[in-house]
Amino acid sequence: MSYVPKNIIAVPTGQFATMAAAATYANATATVASPLVILGMPGTETQPCAITNDAVRVAYLTQQAREPLFAQDFMGAGPPSGVFAITQSRADATLYGIVTTYGPGVYHISTDAVNPAERIYLDTSVKLWANVAYGLIYETRFLIKAALPPTAGNLMVIGLTSDYNADPANWTKCAYVRVNGNDGGRVYCRTDDNTAHNTGELDSGVVVVADTWYTLQIDCTTAASVKFYLDGTRLLAATVFDMSDAAGVHWMEPIFFLNESAATEGPMDLYIDYVKAWQSRQ
């Protein structure tokens, strides 16, 4: 059975004669506060499923069509060993590691308050395995310990990218949310398919609260309409985030990126509970 994110009520297709009947129920029942996801059985991915209600997060998840592809809950030894890797603009092993502050299985990365401008990021070391063309669904749970220092350039980025440079606005083939320090922790969304479509960074109007856990989901089930959700609420629902060009070469990896613009402005602390992804294997 596929994993169902928090705040999602599963509607097994076994309760209905057809996928269409399940879709009718979901369209009439789902709300933003209680969104629905339809879980199918192998083979149902070929059946029509007319989803019109945006609170239905995913039309169907099946064991055959979209399997759990990746899961990291940071139990046991954490990066830099294992799948994830840490990269820093300066070496300081005190700024990352598994912590017990919020219970077991939480990874922490940070900047500090006494050294010059710095960057630190956690990724899968250019092992690109996530693909929009395969119906990718990405999910992570994170917490920002305190409000970011209120200066331009202090920021955190959470999401997916195919490449890295010091300015996330220049990343190509990416889908991410960005939190800035100079505007009170507002959340911005961006996608770029490195061809014809580069959308964002757009202000979602949502502000993250310090020391609060959030679940981020980036739903690429439809490459031409990528959707961002924070704690079950869709961000920028009226915006089309199109990553449809160059389908088949949208290979990306998860990334958690922190940038501190100047000395004495940190620390910036990001805690990560887990990273999960689902997509077709063909």
Range in 21-25, 57-61, 107-111, 125-129 the model is least confident about: 57-61
Between these two residues, 217 and 40, which has the higher pLDDT value? 217
Provide the CB-side half-sphere exposure for 54 (13 A, CA).
14
pTM above 0.85, yes or no: no
Same domain, 126 and 246: yes
Same domain, 46 and 118: no
Same domain, 48 and 134: no
How many structural domains are present in the chain?
2
| pLDDT tens digits along 45-93 | 434 455 566 555 444 443 334 556 778 888 876 676 567 888 887 777 6
The domain containing residue 232 runs over which residues? 67-279
Instruction: Give burial (CB, 10 Å; 0-12/13-18/19+) of 275.
Output: buried
Give yes or no for a contact between 177 and 228, defined as CB atoms under 8 angstroms apart.
yes
Residue (of 93, 167, 91, 80) closest to 125 by Cα position = 80
Same domain, 149 and 264: yes
| pLDDT tens digits along 149-173 | 877 788 899 999 987 788 888 888 8
Residue (of 85, 231, 253, 233) closest to 159 by Cα position = 253
**Residue that terminates a domain, selected from 43, 61, 79:** 61
Task: Find tokens 């890797």 and name the residue.
Answer: 85
Give yes or no for a contact between 177 and 157, defined as CB atoms under 8 angstroms apart.
yes
Same domain, 53 and 84: no
Task: Find tokens 């959030």 and name the residue.
Answer: 214
Same domain, 75 and 55: no
Q: Is the residue at 2 inside a domain?
A: no
